[in-house]
A = this chain, B = another copy of it.
Amino acid sequence: MAGAKLDPIDRHILAELQADGRMTNVELAKRVGISAPPCLRRVRTLEEQGYIRGYHAEIDSRELGFEVQVFAMVRLNSQAESDLTAFEERCRSWPLVRECHMLNGEIDFILKCVAPDLSSFQSFLTGDLLKAPNVANVKTSLVIRGSKDEPGVPFEVLEERIARQA
Protein backbone atom coordinates (compact mmCIF):
# COMPACT_ATOMS: atom_id res chain seq x y z
CA MET A 1 0.00 0.00 0.00
CA ALA A 2 1.25 3.42 -0.91
CA GLY A 3 2.11 5.82 1.86
CA ALA A 4 3.03 2.90 4.07
CA LYS A 5 6.68 3.87 3.92
CA LEU A 6 5.76 6.74 6.18
CA ASP A 7 5.59 6.24 9.89
CA PRO A 8 2.89 7.83 12.05
CA ILE A 9 5.05 10.86 12.81
CA ASP A 10 5.60 11.58 9.12
CA ARG A 11 1.89 11.38 8.45
CA HIS A 12 1.24 13.63 11.40
CA ILE A 13 3.71 16.15 10.01
CA LEU A 14 1.99 16.11 6.63
CA ALA A 15 -1.42 16.58 8.21
CA GLU A 16 -0.24 19.51 10.32
CA LEU A 17 1.49 21.23 7.42
CA GLN A 18 -1.52 20.75 5.20
CA ALA A 19 -3.61 22.49 7.84
CA ASP A 20 -1.08 25.25 8.52
CA GLY A 21 1.79 25.46 6.09
CA ARG A 22 3.44 28.38 7.80
CA MET A 23 3.74 26.83 11.22
CA THR A 24 7.21 27.20 12.71
CA ASN A 25 9.31 24.11 12.92
CA VAL A 26 9.41 24.17 16.72
CA GLU A 27 5.64 24.37 16.90
CA LEU A 28 5.39 21.50 14.43
CA ALA A 29 7.89 19.47 16.43
CA LYS A 30 5.92 20.06 19.61
CA ARG A 31 2.70 18.90 17.98
CA VAL A 32 4.11 15.70 16.57
CA GLY A 33 6.00 14.92 19.76
CA ILE A 34 9.65 15.07 18.76
CA SER A 35 12.34 17.72 19.08
CA ALA A 36 13.01 20.32 16.44
CA PRO A 37 16.07 18.96 14.60
CA PRO A 38 14.68 15.55 13.64
CA CYS A 39 11.41 17.23 12.80
CA LEU A 40 13.11 19.55 10.36
CA ARG A 41 15.03 16.67 8.82
CA ARG A 42 11.78 14.80 8.30
CA VAL A 43 10.19 17.78 6.63
CA ARG A 44 13.12 18.16 4.27
CA THR A 45 13.00 14.49 3.41
CA LEU A 46 9.27 14.64 2.76
CA GLU A 47 9.87 17.58 0.45
CA GLU A 48 12.67 15.82 -1.41
CA GLN A 49 10.66 12.64 -1.81
CA GLY A 50 7.79 14.56 -3.31
CA TYR A 51 5.23 14.04 -0.59
CA ILE A 52 5.20 17.81 -0.13
CA ARG A 53 4.97 19.57 -3.47
CA GLY A 54 5.00 23.10 -2.13
CA TYR A 55 3.47 25.61 0.20
CA HIS A 56 0.88 28.16 -0.82
CA ALA A 57 -1.04 30.98 0.74
CA GLU A 58 -4.74 30.57 0.17
CA ILE A 59 -5.90 33.86 -1.32
CA ASP A 60 -9.50 35.02 -1.40
CA SER A 61 -9.97 35.47 -5.12
CA ARG A 62 -13.31 37.27 -4.72
CA GLU A 63 -11.69 39.89 -2.51
CA LEU A 64 -9.21 40.49 -5.30
CA GLY A 65 -11.96 41.07 -7.81
CA PHE A 66 -12.41 37.66 -9.37
CA GLU A 67 -16.13 37.46 -8.79
CA VAL A 68 -16.92 34.65 -11.17
CA GLN A 69 -16.08 30.97 -11.05
CA VAL A 70 -17.06 28.66 -13.87
CA PHE A 71 -16.76 24.99 -14.67
CA ALA A 72 -16.37 24.27 -18.36
CA MET A 73 -16.98 20.78 -19.76
CA VAL A 74 -15.08 20.40 -22.97
CA ARG A 75 -15.53 17.82 -25.73
CA LEU A 76 -12.94 17.48 -28.43
CA ASN A 77 -13.27 16.19 -31.97
CA SER A 78 -10.17 14.04 -31.81
CA GLN A 79 -8.89 12.16 -28.81
CA ALA A 80 -5.59 11.22 -30.38
CA GLU A 81 -2.85 11.62 -27.82
CA SER A 82 -1.17 14.46 -29.70
CA ASP A 83 -4.47 16.33 -29.83
CA LEU A 84 -5.07 15.78 -26.15
CA THR A 85 -1.66 17.11 -25.16
CA ALA A 86 -2.06 20.04 -27.51
CA PHE A 87 -5.26 21.00 -25.72
CA GLU A 88 -3.66 20.53 -22.31
CA GLU A 89 -0.83 22.78 -23.36
CA ARG A 90 -3.31 25.46 -24.38
CA CYS A 91 -5.06 25.24 -21.03
CA ARG A 92 -1.76 25.79 -19.26
CA SER A 93 -1.29 28.97 -21.23
CA TRP A 94 -4.68 30.43 -20.28
CA PRO A 95 -4.44 32.20 -16.93
CA LEU A 96 -8.20 32.14 -16.36
CA VAL A 97 -8.10 28.34 -16.41
CA ARG A 98 -6.88 27.32 -12.97
CA GLU A 99 -7.49 23.60 -13.25
CA CYS A 100 -7.82 21.20 -16.13
CA HIS A 101 -8.55 17.50 -15.74
CA MET A 102 -8.90 14.87 -18.40
CA LEU A 103 -11.95 12.73 -17.78
CA ASN A 104 -13.36 9.47 -19.02
CA GLY A 105 -16.84 9.30 -20.50
CA GLU A 106 -18.50 11.78 -22.80
CA ILE A 107 -16.70 14.81 -21.49
CA ASP A 108 -13.03 14.95 -22.37
CA PHE A 109 -11.91 17.73 -20.06
CA ILE A 110 -13.29 19.67 -17.16
CA LEU A 111 -11.88 23.15 -16.57
CA LYS A 112 -12.20 25.25 -13.47
CA CYS A 113 -12.00 28.90 -14.45
CA VAL A 114 -12.05 32.24 -12.67
CA ALA A 115 -12.78 35.66 -14.10
CA PRO A 116 -13.33 39.21 -12.86
CA ASP A 117 -16.87 39.25 -14.21
CA LEU A 118 -19.18 37.48 -16.58
CA SER A 119 -18.23 39.49 -19.61
CA SER A 120 -14.54 38.74 -19.12
CA PHE A 121 -15.39 35.09 -18.99
CA GLN A 122 -17.59 35.32 -22.05
CA SER A 123 -14.84 36.90 -24.05
CA PHE A 124 -12.45 34.18 -22.97
CA LEU A 125 -15.01 31.54 -23.85
CA THR A 126 -15.87 32.82 -27.29
CA GLY A 127 -12.50 34.34 -28.10
CA ASP A 128 -10.16 31.61 -26.86
CA LEU A 129 -11.69 28.38 -25.69
CA LEU A 130 -14.31 27.90 -28.40
CA LYS A 131 -11.87 29.00 -31.08
CA ALA A 132 -9.19 26.57 -30.04
CA PRO A 133 -8.49 23.85 -32.57
CA ASN A 134 -10.18 20.51 -32.04
CA VAL A 135 -12.75 21.83 -29.55
CA ALA A 136 -16.11 20.30 -30.47
CA ASN A 137 -18.29 21.91 -27.83
CA VAL A 138 -18.18 23.44 -24.37
CA LYS A 139 -20.82 23.41 -21.69
CA THR A 140 -20.34 25.94 -18.93
CA SER A 141 -21.82 26.13 -15.47
CA LEU A 142 -21.52 29.11 -13.19
CA VAL A 143 -20.68 28.49 -9.57
CA ILE A 144 -23.56 29.89 -7.56
CA ARG A 145 -21.78 29.41 -4.30
CA GLY A 146 -18.96 27.37 -2.90
CA SER A 147 -20.09 24.75 -0.41
CA LYS A 148 -16.84 23.06 0.50
CA ASP A 149 -13.30 23.71 -0.55
CA GLU A 150 -10.64 21.62 1.11
CA PRO A 151 -8.24 20.47 -1.54
CA GLY A 152 -5.76 17.99 -0.20
CA VAL A 153 -5.71 14.67 1.48
CA PRO A 154 -8.28 13.37 3.98
CA PHE A 155 -5.83 12.13 6.59
CA GLU A 156 -8.66 10.76 8.69
CA VAL A 157 -9.38 8.25 5.94
CA LEU A 158 -5.71 7.40 5.56
CA GLU A 159 -5.26 6.71 9.27
CA GLU A 160 -8.38 4.61 9.36
CA ARG A 161 -7.18 2.45 6.51
CA ILE A 162 -3.77 1.97 8.07
CA ALA A 163 -5.30 1.12 11.43
CA ARG A 164 -7.60 -1.43 9.85
CA GLN A 165 -4.87 -3.27 8.00
CA ALA A 166 -2.56 -3.31 11.02
A80 touches B (CB below 8 Å) = no
A78 touches B (CB below 8 Å) = no
Contacts of A158 in B (CB 8 A): 64-66
* Chain B: CB-nearest residue to A116: B161
**Chain A interface helix/strand/loop/mixed:** mixed
B101–A147 touching, CB < 8 Å = yes
Query: Closest CB of chain B to A40's CB: distance in Å?
Result: 12
> Which residue from B14, B50, B99, B104 sits with its C-beta under 8 Å from A150?
B99
* Chain B: CB-nearest residue to A142: B104
Contacts of A66 in B (CB 8 A): 153-154, 158
Given contacts A141-B104, A141-B107, A148-B91, contact A153 B22 (CB under 8 A): no
